[in-house]
Amino acid sequence: MNVSSYPDGNVRRDWTREEIAGLFALPFLDLVMRAQTVHRAYFAANEVQISQLLSIKTGGCPEDCGYCSQSASHATGLKASKLMDVADVVADARAARDAGATRYCMGAAWRSPKDRDVEAVCEMIEGVKALGMETCVTLGMLSGPQAQRLKEAGLDYYNHNLDTSPEYYTEVITTRTYQDRLDTLENLRAADIAVCCGGIIGMGEQREDRVGLLHSLATLPVHPESVPINSLVRVAGTRLGDSAPVDAIEFARVIAVARILMPKSMVRLSAGRGELTDEAQALCFLAGANSIFYGDKLLTTPNPEESRDRKLMRTLGLVPMQPAAT
């Protein structure tokens, strides 16, 4: 049963908020069954794509994102650092590849990169590509020419999240607008770079904001190739550091609805896995998540240890997905 496509095989991009709210309201088992059915129509059931993250430039960011340890407006005790050397980044990527990661994601705490920063990141992209890995970077807002330059260097994916619904957004960030983010996504599409775009659950938003976030993502001109669903990592000293923890069943619902709305996209069970039990993670995989970050650290916060992840993958019979041949 292919429940998310038009008869010609194209995925739907005309979802309404009412339809999406209706999916959230389904009995949980019906929702998960439907998401798993969609998942199996588009993906190998037991494959999980594995990415590794590195913070190539940490802290001191001028933006005021309420969740972020790296914002200069938060006193989190994080030590700021300059852009890393290319050789150190490539050495870390090699270790990640040898541990099984097929995609390497580099993040920088910038509002937007300067052109000379883009040149340095291009060298990193070339070095990581030469290892046979897919590359992803997240550098903040990007102009059209900067996106073109990254494409020339061989960049595969760019991560730029919408974070939450348009309505809740101003509660979280005031230094850049929702439209700024949509503009960057458009620049990426124009440069033919695959898009990694999702959001964060657990920032004090309501169900309707989760509906609004998924509606924004699922009605973009092209669905993001990767959709990271982050559960807020509550960092002491950030404005949202005291938010209530996310209910694991509600989190699995968000994953399931994302899977149904964007059937061809990779749905990443992203930040916050450290606080999920193995059983809750298994539920998220059942709900259609098929991508994770490996490695003991995300950008600045801990991730489950590799040994725990290996054991979980073995227990669940999940196997790493190989990148599509390019």
Catalytic residues: 61, 65, 68, 105, 136, 196, 268
Using CB under 6 A as the binding rule, whether residue 157 contacts ligand SAM is answered as no
Least Å from the CB of residue 161 to ligand DTB = 5
Q: Is residue 288 a contact point for ligand SAM (CB under 6 A)?
A: no
Interface with ligand DTB (CB under 6 A), residue from 300, 309, 318, 321: 300
254 vs 4, 159, 200, 228, 249, CA distance in Å?
16, 19, 10, 11, 9
C-beta closer to ligand SAM: residue 151 or 176: 176
Among 65, 133, 299, 318, binds ligand DTB (CB under 6 A): 299
Closer CB to ligand SF4, 200 or 260, in the complex: 200
Partner touching 313 among ligand SF4, ligand DTB, ligand SAM, none, CB below 5 to 8 Å by kind? none
Looking up tokens 């001028």 gives 62
32 binds ligand SF4 (CB under 6 A): no
Interacting positions 46-85 with ligand SF4 (CB under 6 A): 61, 63, 65, 68, 70-71
Q: How far is CA 120 from CA 82, 140, 263, in A?
A: 12, 15, 35
Residue 68 engages ligand SAM in binding (rule: CB under 6 A): yes
Q: Which is nearer to ligand SAM, 163 or 309 (CB)?
A: 163
Minimum distance of ligand SF4 from residue 63's CB (angstroms): 4
- Choose the contact partner of 294 out of ligand DTB, ligand SAM, ligand SF4, none; CB within 5 to 8 A by kind: none
Contact letters for ligand DTB, residues 209-228 (x by CB under 6 A):
-------------------x
CA dist 15 and 315 (Å) reads 36
Residues numbered 221 to 260 that lie near ligand SAM (CB under 6 A) are: 230, 232-233, 235
Q: Which residue's CB is nearer to ligand DTB, number 34 or number 255?
A: 255
Query: Which residues of the chain form contacts with ligand SF4 (CB under 6 A)?
Result: 61, 63, 65, 68, 70-71, 109, 111, 140
* Interacting residues toward ligand SAM by CB under 6 A: 67-68, 107, 109-110, 138, 140, 160-161, 163, 200, 230, 232-233, 235, 271, 299
